[in-house]
Amino acid sequence: MPDSDQNTPVTYKMAIGGERVDAVGGRTFDSVDPFQGEVWASAPDAGPEDVDRAVQAAHAALSGPWGSLAGRERAALMRRLADILARDAERLTDLEVRDNGKLRRDALAQVSAVSEWFYFFAGLADKLHGESIAPTNGYFVYTRHEPVGVVGAIVPWNAPLILLTWKLAPALAAGCTVVVKPSDYTPVTALELANSFDEAGFPPGVFNVVTGFGPAVGQALTAHPLVSKIAFTGSTTTGIAVAQSAMSHLARVSLELGGKSAQIIFADSDLEAASNGVIAGVFAATGQTCMAGSRLLIERSVFDEITERVAARASRIVVGDPTLEETEMGPLANKAQFDRVQGFVERATQEGATVMCGGSPYGDSGYLFEPTLLTNVNPRMEIFRDEVFGPVTVALPFDTEDEAIALANDTDYGLAGSVWTLNVQKAHRVAHQIKAGTVWINAYRVSAPGVPFGGYKMSGIGRENGIDAVRDYTETKSVWVELTGGLRDPFTIG
């Protein structure tokens, strides 16, 4: 990290082709600590010329030292990188907390897990096996999996380092090079990660970071003709625009987008565990997670008990400084998100929703908002249908299993969900009928590098994590070998 004291903003440069550079235009933008409300870092405000420099550097690296490495050599570099990131987890956590206000223990858990992702995908770097296909008409046929090329990774502000890693680790295992555009609000850990790449010994141009405020950098990256794949995490609206831009030159896309996930709680569940799962599923990370379980569907006979349990515990959540051990929920990451959350709650109450707990800003400084539970909602309300991305959840009763499933699926999204019941047959039966990419049974918000993650419907395209994620960063080539000694008739093939 560049030298500074606690009160002096830190000035960062971009990482392009192994060098640290300013934006061509010389502009910069600030990163604001969402708890203190003060500028703590600045980064270059790049433009299309800077994006082109980064993409050209990444493209050159494909035909340079990186492109000539065997899978086991890429794996060795990735393991070295993982070692460095494990060593530096505490420092990177502190930077992430200052950038986006995440609760420190939550941020530490995520940042500490980053090395696990690199270790896992390093194990796949030398296992990109093709297949041989039975000879047909005198031919032997086999397939190869080759890197797709330059990958443009666009990542959000809610979990910057781990969500970047979900894209970066499989891309590197496949042999790709990467240009990253971090969020305007959280540029720092991606820039710090470039230092870790240098220390690990990666060739220049393999990992590049271009920062910028506003849409210009992302638009230039998605439309660049040398970018072969875009990996994006963010809102559904922006994801659609990203896909349309990438299609201008038929670049591949993987999109991990919004969610409005349902937690179905049956009367035969462990009510204490279910209530705790609800709390963790929506108020952890201040609700700023795409998989947040923000719709509670509760069997009517236990509706009052569950909502009272949730409201009582939510009202005791310690809100405040994310760096303190006793804090249980930190601020929203920026003013725009703070205003968005407040607006959702105000409109919901105007539509007739009842605030069972919370519902207001917390304290006099920073972007703190109370943990909020709303009842007396219906499936047509905005608060039931649209992603809030904050510490707000709604509760609705149901009477039958079929009704619960219908309510859970009554959404444009399909990212995640949960089923709370001690009846194993019911648990699997309902989980199979929820239209979502991830369903937890008697749990919530758990992930691992070997388990695919992604959404149905408007929640995205493709999957991150899991063994098959590496294949999404490759092209499949079929090779035909003629075995008979040559074609005798130029007009007869096979």
Question: What residues act catalytically?
Answer: 256, 290
Using N-to-C axis directions, what is the helix angle for 424-433 and 401-409, rounded to 10°? Answer: 30
230 and 221 Cβ atoms separated by less than 8 Å: yes
3 state SS for 231-257? EEECCHHHHHHHHHHHHHHCCEEEEEC
388 and 359 Cβ atoms separated by less than 8 Å: no
Whose tokens are 């790049």? That residue is 46
- For residues 484 and 448, give the distance between their C-alpha atoms in angstroms, rounded to a whole number: 49
- What residues contact 102, with CB distance under 8 A and at least 6 apart? 96, 110, 158, 159, 285, 286, 322, 330, 333
76 and 171 Cβ atoms separated by less than 8 Å: no
DSSP state of 149: -
User: Exposed e or buried b for every residue in 281-299, given b needs 16+ CB within 10 A?
Assistant: bbbbbbbbbbbbbbbbbbb
| Amino acid, single-letter form, for residue 251 | A
- For residues 292 and 163, give the distance between their C-alpha atoms in angstroms, rounded to a whole number: 15
CA 34 vs CA 6, 12, 328: distances in Å: 15, 19, 16
| Amino acid, single-letter form, for residue 178 | V
| Amino acid, single-letter form, for residue 271 | L
